[in-house]
Structure 1
């Protein structure tokens, strides 16, 4: 999504005739006042703009001095009055803002200071106040009195509910001094001045994120979205529902492109920051001037202040929806907006993600387009390389057309030299060498959506690092294979049609703390090339009714399409057995369990549930689990492998470490071994020594005491000397 700074209203007027007409009106009013001695008797009028200065500003006297000069100027003014051509800029301005032709003269009077600063001095002279360099109701009425035959100016035009003010064309100036309505001052709204002078429409008071959208992404929508938007051609409001903001904006731009109109983005966050209706009025005025549509971008983050911001923005958003301009609402929260549109005719468009094959075509097309002109031999290699890369990216990332285009565009290669380096194949270097960068950019989708709701697990674990029993390791490989083959089984082999379920996988890891559940999830995610996000269900559960469901809905909505693996830690917090309903608390607790079950069934990604107490899980969860893997405490052989693999090659180790003793005498888990090894490493580093048995013994003793098992010290046996040495070195268990 990019912004455009070149949207104009196409209403630029011919300035010279308008100013000549205005000069007649001003000089006629000056002659009237001088004829009544209103100017010459006050030598300090306006404190101070002299008669000579005014004559100089007018530069050319239009009256010849014979007869009644004021009447003569009035006749000339009527002759010079700008014609309101049926298809001219003034007529189109009036039609777009609902302003009658006769009232457009006031628009021209207010426009004059924007065209020539001399009119500020002239207005101040006629207002009898050098500080009031703008029009007032009285001055406008005097200037236009008899200016057009049969079209006298009327005071009712200046009512706050009249089109001139209600449309936003005129802005009334705040004045601390109480004045009559005739003395109220006004100016032309900057947007209208820009429209009539051919400048881009941009109110300087707009928030930075309220801006025009460039239509360059209008083509980046799926075929299904195009067909759905065709059904919205005869309505004023379109509700575009999707998980990816990039695809939502692209759909809004395509809808605008179908009707040949520009798009003004109004983010909900900008509305939430406003204290009055100024933002809404400015956006509506700009949209009406440019015959554009308003895109309400529901960009509010789902955090603690989301509900408060939404409540503040709701009346402002409703004012935009109720206005006559076309409105596209881009959101991921269907229910919130559907309620507001209940009484309006609108079309709802669900932005479904393309399937794997369509994503592959989109990736390949975007990658090939990014290569630029190639020689025939290079083009063939580029097509093959892009095809391989597109297939891998399509299977890994479930993202839409606009996001795919944005990812590739963000990594466009630099200009290629005329001749490549000998032996270098541009297709290989431009496509395959950028695979990691493309994957990282595509992965930002998950970061944007889930980063506020979950914690990304960044651990470079692979199969060589994990230590498990052979049977458990074999099952973990099967789980990794199932994750990698989801697209083939569910879509290519069309098993989804047989199961009638979502294309997701639910996996349950059980076992006591420290047995490797999180590490196994990381290994599986890295093997599949997917991101892993950890959700602590204990923090998701809320004591407030309905808030737990809202938190879960945000998590699954954010994860939809991101293809990230969700790791629900401490699953017991919400997945416990449902109880007999004895009070309202029990009823709502059971509703939370039922809601999570529903979300798990609908989720089309991979969800791993980690539990320390599998017997406490509701049986309904176990029926919906595809794979269950139990992580037991390691035996002595596995513990020795864990101890030996805990220290990397960069760690200095003493020769006195007895790995077998540590493994056989202490029934520790992998997590406990990791903590003890780290403690020993800190002890050794503080004394600038290699890690030795005394360091490990001391760290082990501290761990045993911390766990309330001081009797375990008896198992030190043969290494009692190491314990004594550690105590002599000042270690405090």
Structure 2
């Protein structure tokens, strides 16, 4: 039935064009009969009467029909449409709200693009062989209406449905109205001939949404089917709104044209693209999903108005509250639901399709929309294909990282975690606190969304913690281990580089970081946090006042953050109490005890590093009160010394490295601390 409908739709179009051909013949005959200059030697210099006769006698793709045949054609078309088939020209007329005159004008303008004979015939009738498209006056003449009719002329102005919906272009606007040329865009012509490929300018901005059916999508689909046309869907997680909108349009019996407004906003002609996007949805009989709406609102409010005016379902998706300036019409506004842990697990389980991998461990804590999950599995499948294996948890984690926007990397240093719990050498109490923090991050959706344990005051759903301890006690490495546990990247932000001496610039830098981090599944690690999270002081001058404003802003912004943020400081006492009261966890990293130092020395000096038989690591642990970072630094220095000498690491290398570390720390190298190994310092 589909093949028959397509073939019949083309035949119907050609028959309509044939009716125009009859009118062209009649108009040519009338022009000849009423031509006062038939003997003009320059008449028809390029298109003479003999050539016109041959063109009219020729057989193009169209076929002339009389009125009786045309009436029968329309009755047959009515019957086919009643049977549930689609005739593209008929559907376009209905969806665009075109009148019979509009349809006639569209077909008249379309004719030269389908039958090249009419280029020269229109040139002849225009009395200008260089103008091979119908002029406004010629089109009105062929449609049988007077060029003096204000109503008829109005159908070809910018407010008429043909021009307003991008179905017809009136060219040569500097010419008198009746001599302006009419052209049908190639995309409209291709659509009427059965081609569904979008306009080439629009293709980079189109997305392929993944429908996600919820109670909200079902209710919205029913609302759209009843005639509601403009909707604003506010989402709290990237991609969720688009997926719910796609499911709603499917429930309403509509296809989807999904438009990325951030790309459209950066184009040199956003208004023209807005018309093309609306026309694409019109041609497909689809609904338009466009977001993020705030991106286009900032760049081109006129383009946003253009998108909102279409007489078809338009669903704007964004993260902010609707602004009445964005459209003359007031939309239906609703919030996209936040996915809970069970929702995420079900979504991943559907894609895992029976795989033994545990979706709860993989996905419950990840803020990924349905479309992003689909892309995760595509990336994971490609990674598994490269390795020649089935999809593994590592492949899926790699796919998750691939969904992170690159914008945050311009503001923070990205670290792909490579360490785990076994690499941490910390006191048992500290380890338990870190594991508790990881558990809080993993189960936050269950607690805050599924169990509705939301915190009031407009606070976000994020997890924030403070790591306090001397340099080298394992704060950064612990953040990396938590990122490994959650399958996330670690982004480190040195706040000392964010602070700016100019008023307001620090807040701007921080806002950029938080904005970019909102769309990233990662652990955000603020190093040297006391540079800006420090205690607020009494206001003695303007510097104090603005410093306090920075702290107050960061306090508010951190509180509304939805991700996982870890602050690190060398001195907990430097952090303002207003911050510590709002933190989910505060973990102190004490200096390692002797037994922990021994474990650290053994861990840092281990194969494949070649080791000498004279190493006395227990002595080093007892004698040198180093933090883990210092132990690692001394171990690396010893390895370089051994590499230079061409042998394994001996105690002399290690003692020399410890001496260098003492000097770096500004500590005195005392014989009583180095004991029997003090003479080894003199060997270097």
TM-score normalised to structure 2 length: 0.79
Secondary structure of the 2:600 match is: helix
Q: Distance in 2 between matches of 1:106 and 1:491?
A: 57
Secondary structure of the 1:464 match is: helix
Counterpart position of 2:386: none
Counterpart position of 1:334: 320
Compared with structure 1, are the counterparts of its residues 154 and 78 closer, same or farther at alpha carbon in structure 2 (3 Å cutoff)?
Answer: farther
Secondary structure of the 2:248 match is: helix
Compared with structure 1, are the counterparts of its residues 487 and 298 closer, same or farther at alpha carbon in structure 2 (3 Å cutoff)?
Answer: closer
Q: Distance in 2 between matches of 1:129 and 1:391?
A: 73
Counterpart position of 2:84: none
What pairs with 1:106-125 in structure 2 (closer than 5 Å)? 106-125=105-124
Question: Is this contact kept in 2: 1:532–1:565, CA < 8 A?
Answer: yes
Counterpart position of 1:65: none
Residue 350 of structure 1, aligned match among 335, 339, 346: 335
Question: Is this contact kept in 2: 1:13–1:196, CA < 8 A?
Answer: no
Counterpart position of 1:287: 281
Counterpart position of 2:304: 317
Matching of residue 296 in structure 1 with residue 287 in structure 2: no
Compared with structure 1, are the counterparts of its residues 668 and 557 closer, same or farther at alpha carbon in structure 2 (3 Å cutoff)?
Answer: same
Compared with structure 1, are the counterparts of its residues 632 and 435 closer, same or farther at alpha carbon in structure 2 (3 Å cutoff)?
Answer: closer
Counterpart position of 1:390: 359
What pairs with 1:627-666 in structure 2 (closer than 5 Å)? 627-655=585-613, 657-659=615-617, 662-663=620-621, 666=624
Question: Is this contact kept in 2: 1:222–1:401, CA < 8 A?
Answer: no
Residue 19 of structure 1, aligned match among 13, 17, 24: 17
Q: Distance in 1 between matches of 2:590 and 2:177?
A: 85
Compared with structure 1, are the counterparts of its residues 485 and 259 closer, same or farther at alpha carbon in structure 2 (3 Å cutoff)?
Answer: closer
Cα offset for 1:516?
0.7
Cα offset for 1:614?
1.2
What pairs with 1:501-580 in structure 2 (closer than 5 Å)? 505-527=463-485, 531-539=489-497, 543-544=503-504, 547=508, 550-551=511-512, 553-554=514-515, 557-558=518-519, 562=521, 564-580=522-538
Secondary structure of the 2:288 match is: strand
Counterpart position of 2:202: 206
Counterpart position of 1:68: none
Secondary structure of the 1:239 match is: strand
Secondary structure of the 1:14 match is: helix
Residue 678 of structure 1, aligned match among 613, 629, 636: 636
Compared with structure 1, are the counterparts of its residues 585 and 391 closer, same or farther at alpha carbon in structure 2 (3 Å cutoff)?
Answer: same
Cα offset for 1:239?
1.9
Matching of residue 221 in structure 1 with residue 216 in structure 2: no
What number of residue pairs does the alignment pair up?
A: 652
Q: Distance in 2 between matches of 1:38 and 1:657?
A: 115
Cα offset for 1:534?
3.2
Counterpart position of 2:139: 140
Counterpart position of 2:263: 270
Matching of residue 465 in structure 1 with residue 407 in structure 2: no
Cα offset for 1:646?
1.3
Cα offset for 1:328?
0.9
Residue 246 of structure 2, aligned match among 221, 246, 253: 253
Compared with structure 1, are the counterparts of its residues 609 and 580 closer, same or farther at alpha carbon in structure 2 (3 Å cutoff)?
Answer: same
Cα offset for 1:96?
3.8
Cα offset for 1:512?
1.9
Question: Is this contact kept in 1: 2:293–2:316, CA < 8 A?
Answer: no
Q: CA RMSD in A?
A: 4.6
Cα offset for 1:334?
1.2
Compared with structure 1, are the counterparts of its residues 226 and 548 closer, same or farther at alpha carbon in structure 2 (3 Å cutoff)?
Answer: farther
Question: Is this contact kept in 1: 2:342–2:446, CA < 8 A?
Answer: no
Secondary structure of the 1:200 match is: coil
Q: Distance in 1 between matches of 2:53 and 2:329?
A: 58
Q: Distance in 2 between matches of 1:704 and 1:553?
A: 39
Secondary structure of the 1:168 match is: coil
Secondary structure of the 1:496 match is: coil
Secondary structure of the 1:334 match is: coil
Compared with structure 1, are the counterparts of its residues 270 and 399 closer, same or farther at alpha carbon in structure 2 (3 Å cutoff)?
Answer: closer
Secondary structure of the 1:191 match is: helix
What runs of 5+ residues in structure 2 fail to find an aligned partner? 1-5, 82-86, 384-388
Residue 610 of structure 1, aligned match among 568, 579, 585: 568
Compared with structure 1, are the counterparts of its residues 94 and 667 closer, same or farther at alpha carbon in structure 2 (3 Å cutoff)?
Answer: same
Compared with structure 1, are the counterparts of its residues 548 and 339 closer, same or farther at alpha carbon in structure 2 (3 Å cutoff)?
Answer: farther
Compared with structure 1, are the counterparts of its residues 321 and 549 closer, same or farther at alpha carbon in structure 2 (3 Å cutoff)?
Answer: farther
Q: Distance in 2 between matches of 1:447 and 1:206?
A: 22
Superposed CA deviations along residues 484-530 of structure 1, whole A, max 9, x for unmatched, are 666777788x5938999977654321012221111122234434555
Counterpart position of 1:58: 56
Compared with structure 1, are the counterparts of its residues 115 and 413 closer, same or farther at alpha carbon in structure 2 (3 Å cutoff)?
Answer: same
Cα offset for 1:140?
2.9
Question: Is this contact kept in 2: 1:507–1:628, CA < 8 A?
Answer: yes
Q: Distance in 2 between matches of 1:441 and 1:725?
A: 53
Residue 166 of structure 1, aligned match among 145, 156, 164: 164
Compared with structure 1, are the counterparts of its residues 583 and 227 closer, same or farther at alpha carbon in structure 2 (3 Å cutoff)?
Answer: farther
Q: Distance in 2 between matches of 1:254 and 1:99?
A: 29
Q: Distance in 1 between matches of 2:456 and 2:142?
A: 79
Question: Is this contact kept in 2: 1:510–1:610, CA < 8 A?
Answer: yes
Counterpart position of 1:64: none
Cα offset for 1:228?
6.2
Q: Distance in 1 between matches of 2:329 and 2:317?
A: 17
Cα offset for 1:90?
5.6
Superposed CA deviations along residues 177-224 of structure 1, whole A, max 9, x for unmatched, are x7544443231122332343333262233252236x57xx33x23335
Secondary structure of the 1:625 match is: coil
